[in-house]
A and B are shown apart, each in its own frame.
Chain A
Amino acid sequence: QSVLTQPPSVSGAPGQKVTISCTGSSSNIGAAYEVHWYQQVPGTAPKLLIYANNNRPSGVPDRFSGSRSGTSASLAISGLQAEDEADYYCQSYDSSLIVVFGGGTKLTVL
């Protein structure tokens, strides 16, 4: 059972927009700690996608965006492409557990 809750799966057709939610509590996201997102293509290493709620590292397309509100955060992917098919994880700081992750969301591009 992960501390941060994500939907197990989402899907969308090429060109569409999908959103992945990440729900926490008052000891992590709700305490205004930053949320970060990672992309992992199965069999490969995770990659930082969004840091500090809504910032993209160099090289990450602007199709990816993040937001945070209250005890939740969201990752939005617009203009879906086949190469976006991967697992996505949210991560934050927790005042008791230090580092917490969501359980991951599998994105399928139809």
Chain B
Amino acid sequence: EVQLVESGGDLVKPGRSLRLSCTASGFTFGDYAMSWFRQAPGKGLEWVGFIRSKPYGGTREYAASVQGRFTISRDDSKSIAYLQMNSLKTEDTAVYFCSITQYYDSSGEVYFQHWGQGTLVTVSS
């Protein structure tokens, strides 16, 4: 059974950093791109970024709203994807989800097959 479990969410002050983890099981982690999303309270889904699998270079793409502050990485030996969040702002408050990502190298298109249950990040002084 495919499982994604996010962890690391916390209450942090503006300007601080936080690292989230997404622990995967039930599939060959190294074969898939992995994505992060967020959902602010009462709001819709917002894509944060994704990291391609190693066969496709392991490169990353980010939403403009987090570019330069957030970094996605992966440890295929542990089946974990990470989201390093720096210089946090109050508007980063949200539930953060990870997902298995189907990536089409020919066009760059992606869609999101399975999602974890999310972890809450609250940025407040």
Q: Say whether chain A's binding surface is mostly helix, strand, loop, or mixed.
A: strand
Q: Which of B34-76 contact A (CB under 8 A)?
A: 35, 44-47, 50, 61, 63-64
Taken together as a complex, chains A and B put the C-alpha atoms of A91 and B101 apart, in Å, by 13
Whether B111 pairs with A34 at a CB distance below 8 angstroms is yes
Query: Chain B interface (Cβ within 8 Å of chain A)?
Result: 35, 44-47, 50, 61, 63-64, 97, 102, 107-118
B102 partner residues in chain A, CB cutoff 8 A: 51
Q: Which of A38-58 contact B (CB under 8 A)?
A: 38, 40, 44-48, 51-52, 57
A48 to chain B, nearest CB (A): 6
Q: Which of A2-42 contact B (CB under 8 A)?
A: 2, 33-34, 36, 38, 40
Q: Given the known A-B contacts A45-B118, A46-B97, A97-B64, are A2 and B111 also in contact in the complex, defined by CB atoms under 8 Å?
A: no
A5 to chain B, nearest CB (A): 12
B44 partner residues in chain A, CB cutoff 8 A: 2, 87, 89, 101-104
Whether A45 pairs with B115 at a CB distance below 8 angstroms is yes
